[in-house]
């Protein structure tokens, strides 16, 4: 039982982690809680659906339920969603930032943007569910009592690869270092010659791309619907905050912790309380470390 | 301050205008509706709203109410109680509807009964709200009816079927709402008396991205069968995760899953031999007529929760309003049960039948309405009982396996409750 | 008939006043103290359920339902919410702005889940019914009861408003403002910022509990579905639209936002035929979202903004 719960937790956690990275960086670099982030997940998933509709998910390759076409669709969707994220910033948030708007105003603008984005999905694709593939996979028993779908193992591997690449990018590339500098201290970064606008642009594009991947993975297991991002929103924020905003490692660990908390808790308490678990973990962490596990002390 | 005054003035004049327009003519007769057009229930509500539209069309084609055409005013409750209550109050007070239909979620129906229906004494007929206490504890003063049996019927019938098939060690995964907990309670009571066995009960909160945790918990009890109580969207996720984690294919479902959305969502080849329960749409010419009319108008099948019951709710309402001596609440309330009188002339669905019914009513003759869900007869509490049916999925189609007649249901009730 | 419109407006006004009390409570926490409370619905729920559990007619399957008088229910609701807010505040007050928001949000979600799952006490998903309305025996028609309740609410809101204005001009209120404007300076003068914040948090939450109890005794029924996050969002919208840091703005915001919410629903029925009602409703939600964005872009201080500028440190 425990083994299965841990496996499930890691899987859910991986998806949450990918989404939480974007939230974490927006929180730290732009200092506002972007409640429209979850809609980037939804849009990413649906954009991939559009590509899949043209090319098909592909005949199942190997043990997976999809072929390379889905991966290509996901990559394209990631690119597009990054641009969508930047566009939303351009249209809505940038103006507010320029006027020195209060962070709360930004939060509300984000809410409004989220409502619009979500209902646009409804208008275009309807309320019902969509699917990338109609195949149903059988799980394989990795260890006694622990079963996972090949698709899910793939998602884990891909998520890990993405995180490693991102870590490399942040550590070794100029833009990445500029982002980290901005995350630590915007005024200091500017003094050092960091171009704020470029960093902001890259933050949005990366956030959008990661969110799109998370959306596709969520939609793969097993269906897409307009609320897919929204249903993950609070978990994303809980993960980002408990990991410590502005930290890549923090967001990933945060995501995993949230996923594990949800799944392990069912061993002890009724499943009716499952959705409160991310917050309980968050509260516990914040009690002990108010800045999050890997966050900078304020 | 100026802004405030301007806003208040605009509000007042706007509402006065509505009020004036609503006040004058006796025609058209307005019927209200409150449904969750947006929100998490929206996918299910779409067809229900279409069914309502069809009913109104038939009513108007067949002669309307008391010689006047009927105007249907449908408001969205967004799944939020305060919005639903506001909408219902608006319909009753400003639009002066003599009766209204609504809603689906009992979290919204409950406050509406408590703050609008009962105090204002207006008839409310719901297609879909199954929480049993609403009719059983007298809170509505007799003004609340439903054309859908409470979960008791379905739960007892499900228990009867699972024990008949010899299903042992059943895991129950149920949606954590009044509907789910109601069904669970009655199912457990029935199964206890009929000799089945519940291995584990796992509630789930809806609208989650994944249910692996709940499924894993249920599987840990090593069940030999699964009873899934919920709604199609999340049910698809749960069943897929259940099957891929190696869960048994011995799966029983509730009525909401009796839709191609569910079959196609999981995948036709994976749901072979799943079975479920529903309130019986007794096969017959009137049910077929409704199904055909629905398919012709909307180019989609008429299967789905609430579609048939919503049609009947409105037809019953319109017939009762014609039978009633006037359009006051108490008169309509008393007339509702006269829609189905022993020995009355049978009238069915569709505009021609409705027209026939009006002629009979005008001549003072009793009628017996056979609706899209079969014979509609309200008991003393405002509930309908009815036969149940067992459906199953065969070759990607939903077919009826067998019908549990009213007599068998009544015998079942006796067996379980004594 | 005009009496119908009048009757509806009375009912509408009652809802607006109850939402107004919620907004006043939030204004004390956010407008005057700078606390980003995203768990409004949780305190509303505590007040509502306390009142329901104490006053509802006894039923054998429930632990509570003591059938106590209305006034006892109201006072107890406020006390219970104050106590809960004190505990929650102790845990969360020192968190920075958006963290406090997520923490309080999570607490509200947990409270709602307890209401949903702890059936013997709260009625679970079925909720609690037969909650007596005050003086329902005397005012037995809907219009007369709603009118009486409206007068009751108006008196209560006036009292709360007057009390809040008084408190905020008192020495305590001045310290609060000082802390919000420049915490370091205030602390240097020997004021415990945390203590004051906690007091404001508890007081604001108590008002929310009061609103919950009033709501429940007005409608006569309570269920966990009354306490979903959308309500938190609506109350925040009310405060922002009306102008935070301003009690009059809070009340006006409540009126404005609820009117928009309700009137847009009416507009959909008038403009869109029932066959397209679902799309009309989706458009209604989009419009509300757009409206919100527009208000924020062009009148960020709300309808009646506070004159003073809020310090950037308000969410630390």
Chain C residue with Cα closest to A109: C293
Contact residues on chain A for B240, CB-CB shorter than 8 A: 136, 222
Chain A residue with Cα closest to C284: A119
CA angle (A32 as vertex; A28, A37 as ends), nearest 5: 95
pLDDT tens digits, residue range B43-90? 788 899 999 999 999 999 999 999 999 999 999 998 899 999 999 999
**pLDDT score of C19 more than 70:** yes
Strand-pair partners of C287: none
**pLDDT score of C235 more than 70:** yes
Task: Report how far residue B8's alpha carbon sits from residue A229's, in angstroms, rounded to the nearest whole number.
Answer: 39
The answer for residues whose C-beta is within 8 angstroms of residue A14's C-beta and 6 or more apart is A155, A156, A159, A160, A217, A255, A256, A259
- Cα torsion through A118, A123, A126, A132, rounded to 10: -60
Return the residue matching tokens 């569709």: B350
pLDDT tens digits, residue range A226-270? 888 888 888 999 999 989 888 899 999 999 999 999 999 988 888
Q: What is the mean pLDDT of residues C230-236?
A: 89
Lowest mean pLDDT among A32-41, A164-173, B146-155, C286-295: C286-295
3-state SS class at C211: helix
Exposed / middle / buried, residue A296 (Cβ in 10 Å: 0-12, 13-18, 19+): middle
List b or e across A61-82, with b for residues whose CB sees 16 or more CB atoms inside 10 angstroms: eeebbbbebbbebbbbbbbbbb
Q: Which of C221, C275, C277 sits opposite B111 (nearest CB)?
A: C221
Q: Do C8 and B49 touch (CB under 8 A)?
A: no
Q: Which of B93, B105, B111 sits opposite C219 (nearest CB)?
A: B111
Of all residues in chain C, the percent with pLDDT exceeding 70 is: 92
Mutate to test the interface with B, among A64, A127, A151, A216 (most CBs of B within 10 A): A127
pLDDT tens digits, residue range A118-174? 888 988 888 778 888 777 778 888 888 788 888 888 888 988 999 999 999 988 988
CA-based R_g, chain C, Å: 20
Q: Do B133 and C116 touch (CB under 8 A)?
A: no
Query: Which pLDDT value is given to residue B8?
Result: 56
**pLDDT score of C310 more than 60:** no
Query: Which pLDDT value is given to residue B11?
Result: 59
Return the CATH number of A2-288, one of 1.10.3470, 1.10.287, 3.20.20, 1.10.10. Answer: 1.10.3470
Return the residue matching tokens 């209560």: C156
User: How would DSSP label each residue in B204-228?
Assistant: E-SS-S--HHHHHHHHHT--SEEEE
Q: Which of B46, B204, B217 sits opposite A127 (nearest CB)?
A: B46
Residues of chain B below pLDDT 70: 1-25, 281-283
**Does residue C41 sit at the B interface (CB-CB below 8 Å)?**
no
Stated length of chain C = 316
Helix axes C230-242, C247-271, angle to 10 degrees: 120
More confident: B318 or C102: B318
pLDDT tens digits, residue range A218-234? 888 778 888 888 888 88
Note whether B198 and B191 are within 8 A (CB). Answer: yes
The interface pTM score, or ipTM, of the predicted complex is 0.89
pLDDT tens digits, residue range C116-151? 999 889 988 889 988 989 988 888 888 999 999 999
**pLDDT score of C308 more than 70:** no
Task: Report how far residue A167's alpha carbon sits from residue B160's, in angstroms, rounded to the nearest whole number.
Answer: 59
3-state SS class at B148: coil
Contact residues on chain A for C316, CB-CB shorter than 8 A: 298
Backbone angles phi, psi at B28, to 5 degrees: -75, 160
Query: Which pLDDT value is given to residue B24?
Result: 37
Query: Which pLDDT value is given to residue C315?
Result: 62
Nearest CA to C114 out of C50, C38, C55, C21 is that of C50
Q: DSSP state, C222?
A: B
Task: Report how far residue B312's alpha carbon sits from residue B148's, in angstroms, rounded to the nearest whole number.
Answer: 9
State the CB neighbour count (10 A cutoff) for residue C71: 10
Nearest CA to A224 out of A126, A143, A158, A137 is that of A126
Report how many Cβ contacts below 8 Å link chain B to chain C: 163
Task: Report how far residue C53's alpha carbon sits from residue A284's, in angstroms, rounded to the nearest whole number.
Answer: 30
Contact residues on chain A for C314, CB-CB shorter than 8 A: 102
Q: How confident is the model at residue C302 (pLDDT cuts 50, 70, 90)?
A: low
Query: Which pLDDT value is given to residue B21?
Result: 46
Q: Which of A8, A128, A218 sits opposite B216 (nearest CB)?
A: A8
3-state SS class at B123: strand
Cis peptide bond prior to A221, omega within 30° of 0: no
Lowest mean pLDDT among A80-84, B95-99, B258-262, C272-276: C272-276
State the CB neighbour count (10 A cutoff) for residue C128: 28
**pLDDT score of C88 more than 50:** yes
Instruction: Give the B-side interface with A, CB within 8 Å.
Output: 40, 42-43, 46, 176, 202-205, 207-210, 212-214, 216-217, 220, 233, 236-237, 240-241, 243-246, 261, 265-267, 270
Q: B295 to chain C, minimum CA–CA distance in Å?
A: 15
Note whether A76 and A265 are within 8 A (CB). Answer: no
Task: Report how far residue B210's alpha carbon sits from residue A232's, in angstroms, rounded to the nearest whole number.
Answer: 10
Note whether B34 and B46 are within 8 A (CB). Answer: no
Write the secondary structure of chain A as one string of H (helix), E (strand) and C (coil). Answer: CHHHHHHHHHHHHHHHHHHHHHHHHHHHHCCCCCCCHHHHHHHHHHHHHHHHHHHCCCCCCCCCCCCHHHHHHHHHHHHHHHHHHHHHHHHHHHHHHHCCCCHHHHHHHHHHHHHHHHHHHHHHHCCCCECCCCCCCCCEEEECCEEECHHHHHHHHHHHHHHHHHHHHHHHCHHHHHHHHHHHCHHHHHHCCCCHHHHHHHHHHHHHHHHHHHHHHHHHCCCECCCCCHHHHHHHHHHHHHHCCCCHHHHHHHHHHHHHHHHHHCCCCCHHHHHHHHHHHHHHHHHHCCCCCCCCCC
Q: Do B244 and A139 touch (CB under 8 A)?
A: yes
List b or e across A215-241, with b for residues whose CB sees 16 or more CB atoms inside 10 angstroms: bbbbbbbbbbbbbbbbbbbbbbbbbbb
Lowest mean pLDDT among A116-130, C7-21, C274-288: C274-288
Q: How confident is the model at residue A109 (pLDDT cuts 50, 70, 90)?
A: confident
Query: Which pLDDT value is given to residue B26?
Result: 78
Query: Which pLDDT value is given to residue A269?
Result: 87
Query: Which pLDDT value is given to residue B19?
Result: 47
Contact residues on chain C for A257, CB-CB shorter than 8 A: none
In the stretch 230-269 of chain C, residues with CB closer than 8 A to chain B read: 230-231, 252, 255-256, 259, 261-263, 265-266, 268-269
Q: Do A271 and B270 touch (CB under 8 A)?
A: no
Domain-wise residue ranges, chain A:
2-288
């Amino acid at each position: 039982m425990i083994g299965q719960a841990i496996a499930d937790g890691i899987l859910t956690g991986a998806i949450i982690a990918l989404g939480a990275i974007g939230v974490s960086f927006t929180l730290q670099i732009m200092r506002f809680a972007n409640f429209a982030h979850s809609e980037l997940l939804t849009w990413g998933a649906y954009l991939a659906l559009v590509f899949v509709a043209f090319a098909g998910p592909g005949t199942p390759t190997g043990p997976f339920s999809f072929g390379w076409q889905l991966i290509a669709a996901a990559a394209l969707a990631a690119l597009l969603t990054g641009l969508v994220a930047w566009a939303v910033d351009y249209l809505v948030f940038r103006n507010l930032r320029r006027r020195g708007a209060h962070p709360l105003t930004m939060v509300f603008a984000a809410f409004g943007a989220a409502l619009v984005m979500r209902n646009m999905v409804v208008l275009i694709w309807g309320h019902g569910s969509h699917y990338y593939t109609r195949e149903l996979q059988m799980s394989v028993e990795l260890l006694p009592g622990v079963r996972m779908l090949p698709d899910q193992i793939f998602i884990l591997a891909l998520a890990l690869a993405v995180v490693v690449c991102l870590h490399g990018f942040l550590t070794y590339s100029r833009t990445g270092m500029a982002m980290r500098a901005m995350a630590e201290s915007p005024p200091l970064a500017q003094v050092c010659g960091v171009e704020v606008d470029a960093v902001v642009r890259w933050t949005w594009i990366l956030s959008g791309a990661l969110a799109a991947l998370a959306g596709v993975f969520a939609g793969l297991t097993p269906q897409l619907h307009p609320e897919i991002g929204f249903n993950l929103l609070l978990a994303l924020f809980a993960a980002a905050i408990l990991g410590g905003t502005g930290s890549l490692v923090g967001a990933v660990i945060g995501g995993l912790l949230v996923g594990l908390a949800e799944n392990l808790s069912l061993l002890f308490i009724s499943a009716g309380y499952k959705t409160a678990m991310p917050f309980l973990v968050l509260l516990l962490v914040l009690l002990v470390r108010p800045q999050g596990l890997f966050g900078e002390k304020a | 301050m100026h802004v405030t005054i301007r806003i208040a003035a605009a509000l007042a004049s706007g509402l006065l205008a509505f009020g004036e327009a609503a006040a004058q003519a006796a025609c058209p007769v307005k019927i209200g509706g409150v449904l969750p057009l947006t929100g998490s229930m929206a996918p299910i509500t779409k067809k229900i709203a279409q069914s309502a539209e069809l009913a109104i069309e038939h009513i108007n084609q067949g002669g309307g109410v008391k010689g006047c055409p009927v105007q249907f005013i449908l408001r969205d409750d967004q799944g939020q109680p305060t919005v639903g209550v506001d909408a219902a109050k608006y319909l009753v007070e400003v639009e002066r509807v003599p009766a209204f239909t609504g809603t689906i979620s009992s979290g919204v129906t409950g406050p509406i009964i408590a703050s609008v229906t009962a105090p204002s004494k207006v008839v409310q007929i719901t297609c879909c709200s199954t929480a049993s206490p609403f009719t059983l504890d007298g809170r509505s003063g007799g003004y609340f009816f439903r054309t859908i049996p409470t979960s008791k019927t379905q739960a007892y019938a499900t228990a009867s079927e699972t024990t008949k098939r010899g299903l042992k060690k059943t895991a129950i995964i149920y949606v954590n709402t009044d509907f789910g907990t109601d069904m669970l309670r009655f199912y457990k009571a029935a199964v206890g008396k009929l000799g089945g066995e519940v291995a584990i009960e796992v509630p789930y909160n809806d609208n989650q991205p994944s249910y692996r945790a709940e499924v894993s918990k249920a599987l840990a009890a090593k069940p030999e069968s699964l009873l899934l109580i919920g709604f199609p969207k999340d049910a698809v996720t749960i069943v897929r995760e259940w099957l891929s984690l190696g869960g048994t294919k011995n799966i029983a479902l509730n009525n909401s899953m009796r839709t191609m959305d569910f079959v196609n969502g999981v995948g036709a080849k994976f749901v072979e031999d799943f079975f479920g329960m529903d309130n019986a749409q007794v096969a017959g010419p009137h049910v077929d007529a409704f199904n055909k009319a629905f398919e012709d108008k909307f180019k989609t099948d008429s299967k789905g929760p609430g579609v048939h019951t919503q049609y009947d709710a409105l037809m019953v309402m319109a017939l009762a309003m014609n039978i009633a001596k006037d359009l006051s609440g108490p008169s309509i309330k008393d007339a509702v049960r006269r829609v189905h009188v022993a020995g009355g002339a049978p009238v069915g669905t569709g505009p021609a039948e409705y027209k026939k019914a009006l002629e009979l009513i005008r001549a003072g003759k009793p009628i017996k309405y056979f609706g899209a869900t079969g014979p509609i007869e309200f008991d003393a509490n405002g509930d309908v009982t009815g036969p149940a049916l067992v459906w199953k999925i065969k070759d990607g189609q939903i077919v009826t396996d067998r019908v549990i007649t009213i007599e068998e249901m009544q015998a079942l009730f006796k067996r379980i409750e004594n | 008939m005009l009496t119908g419109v009048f009757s509806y407006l009375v009912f509408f006004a009652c809802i607006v006043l109850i939402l107004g009390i919620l907004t006043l409570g939030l204004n004390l926490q956010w407008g005057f103290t700078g606390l980003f409370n995203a768990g409004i619905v949780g305190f509303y729920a505590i007040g509502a359920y306390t009142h329901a559990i104490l006053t509802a007619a006894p039923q054998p399957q429930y632990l509570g339902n003591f059938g106590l008088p209305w006034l006892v229910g109201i006072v107890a609701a406020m006390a219970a919410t104050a106590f809960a807010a004190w505990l929650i505040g102790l845990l969360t007050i020192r968190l920075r702005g958006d963290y406090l928001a997520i923490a309080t949000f999570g607490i509200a979600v947990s409270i709602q889940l307890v209401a949903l799952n702890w059936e013997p006490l709260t009625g679970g998903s079925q909720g609690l019914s037969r909650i007596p309305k005050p003086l329902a025996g005397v005012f037995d028609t809907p219009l007369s009861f709603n009118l009486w309740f409206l007068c009751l609410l108006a008196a209560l809101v006036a009292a709360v408003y007057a009390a809040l204005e008084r408190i905020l001009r008192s020495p305590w209120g001045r310290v609060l403002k000082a802390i919000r404007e420049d915490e370091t300076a205030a602390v240097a003068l020997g004021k415990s910022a945390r203590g004051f914040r906690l007091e404001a948090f508890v007081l604001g939450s108590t008002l929310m509990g009061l609103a919950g109890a009033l709501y429940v005794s007005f409608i006569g029924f309570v269920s966990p579905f009354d306490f979903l996050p959308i309500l938190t969002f609506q109350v925040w919208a009310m405060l922002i639209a009306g102008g935070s840091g301003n009690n009059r703005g809070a009340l006006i915001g409540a009126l404005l936002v609820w009117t928009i919410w309700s009137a847009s629903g009416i507009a959909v029925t008038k403009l869109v035929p029932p066959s397209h009602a679902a799309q009309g409703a989706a458009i209604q939600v989009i419009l509300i979202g757009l409206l919100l964005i527009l208000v924020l872009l062009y009148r960020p201080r709300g309808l009646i903004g506070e004159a003073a500028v809020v310090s950037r440190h308000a969410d630390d």
